[in-house]
Homo-oligomer: A and B are copies of this chain.
Amino acid sequence: MTATFGRVAVLGLGLIGGSLVNAIRQSGLDVIGYDTDPRTAAAASAAGFPVTASDASAVHGADLVVLAMPLPEVGNALRSLAPHLAPGAVLTDVGTLKAPVLELVRATIPTTRFVGGHPLAGTENSGWDAADPLLFRDAPWALTLESDTDLASWIALAELVCDLGAKPVAATAAEQDAAVAHVIGLPHVLAEALALTGLTGGELGLSLAAGSYMTGSRVARTRPDLVATWCDGNPELVTALDDVIARLSDARDHLATKGSVLDLAIAGHRARMDWEHRDFEPVELTADPVGLLAHGRRGGWITAVLRDDDGVRLLGMRPRR
């Protein structure tokens, strides 16, 4: 259990924020919630969580503040909570894109101890009712590490993330956003395009749609405004889309002229199986930003933070080469 944070305030109690207050309470920490929607706040309160009537009172006295509202609301939230943030408090968030949040924080509260966070957890459902304290179990959780990030805050947050059963991954905001363009933005855009294009097969096609259509378009069930916040303004997603369009065009031409998509199927299958069969090895790391970032860049994550008289060491896992 993390002793570093005495009290955690979670602002925004949707799927991620709601799951977070549940998970943090289960880990034994003092947690307080806030949501702009009175119905959500009432539901959290009815479930036994302390919920404040304003963001100011939630933030007051908290030594970790988690921004868990959708990205379009983060700017206003920062301006509103800035005067109430305790000196030395750590600020984090849980959004998909890290560069826009970093920019907002630097513009609004430049002196705060901010560490951008992105738990890669979630379902196609939204809202407090979908919250689940086990949502973060084994989930990668990007934690941004910039040249001006306070390392002690980063490590304290990594420790909390480990306590929640998740896997902290060090990355700069720019690296994280480039990576999620490929593994979050791209799958969502493809699912939306499939959901839509599947319809053009007519009613007969709708009745014949089965497993592959169903799982392929699953994340198109997500609220479209949320999907947009995970994709919009990410220049790397333009690159990822160029890339996938080129591959699809190749496959299309190959099918039209040579009658087969086998080349793409072989390559896609190999990629998926290689990904599934990655093998990992344990590694010990020092509390050094350069080493932590290199560890993240080669696919590694943190499994534990050890504190003793000599200082802090971190244990991790990384893909075997």
Is A238 on the interface with B (CB-CB < 8 A)?
yes
Among B195, B204, B265, which residue has its beta carbon within 8 angstroms of that of A297?
B204
Known contacts: A203-B319, A219-B215, A240-B200. The answer to whether A228 contacts B189 by CB under 8 A is: no
Known contacts: A184-B213, A211-B122. The answer to whether A275 contacts B192 by CB under 8 A is: no
A259 / chain B contacts, CB cutoff of 8 Å: 232-233
Q: Give the residue name and chain of the B residue nearest to A219 (CB).
A: B212
Chain B nearest Cβ from A245, distance in angstroms: 5
A260 / chain B contacts, CB cutoff of 8 Å: 228, 231-233
Among B179, B189, B228, which residue has its beta carbon within 8 angstroms of that of A202?
B179
Is A227 on the interface with B (CB-CB < 8 A)?
yes
Chain B nearest Cβ from A118, distance in angstroms: 8
Bound CA–CA A192/B198 (angstroms)? 17
B195 adjacent to A272 (CB under 8 Å):
yes
The proximity string for A residues 178-222 relative to B, scoring 1 for CB distances below 8 Å and 0 otherwise, is 111111101111111111111111111111111111011111111
Chain B nearest Cβ from A317, distance in angstroms: 10
Is A298 on the interface with B (CB-CB < 8 A)?
yes
Is A283 on the interface with B (CB-CB < 8 A)?
no
Flag the segment in A22-30, A49-57, A168-176 that touches B.
A168-176
Known contacts: A255-B232, A275-B209. The answer to whether A197 contacts B243 by CB under 8 A is: yes
Among B210, B211, B238, B262, which residue has its beta carbon within 8 angstroms of that of A225?
B262
Chain B nearest Cβ from A25, distance in angstroms: 24
Is A261 on the interface with B (CB-CB < 8 A)?
yes
The proximity string for A residues 151-173 relative to B, scoring 1 for CB distances below 8 Å and 0 otherwise, is 00000000000000001010100
Known contacts: A188-B212, A220-B272, A224-B268. The answer to whether A179 contacts B196 by CB under 8 A is: no
B275 adjacent to A210 (CB under 8 Å):
no
**Between-chain CB contacts (< 8 Å), 18 pairs:** A120-B209, A179-B204, A182-B198, A183-B206, A187-B216, A189-B261, A189-B264, A196-B264, A197-B247, A199-B271, A212-B219, A215-B216, A224-B262, A224-B265, A225-B262, A225-B265, A228-B265, A241-B252
Q: Which residues of A contact B (CB under 8 A)?
A: 120-123, 139-140, 142, 167, 169, 171, 175-176, 178-184, 186-213, 215-225, 227-228, 231-234, 237-238, 240-245, 247-249, 251-252, 255-256, 259-262, 264-269, 271-276, 278, 296-301, 319
Closest 3 CB pairs of A and B: A192-B268, A182-B201, A203-B299
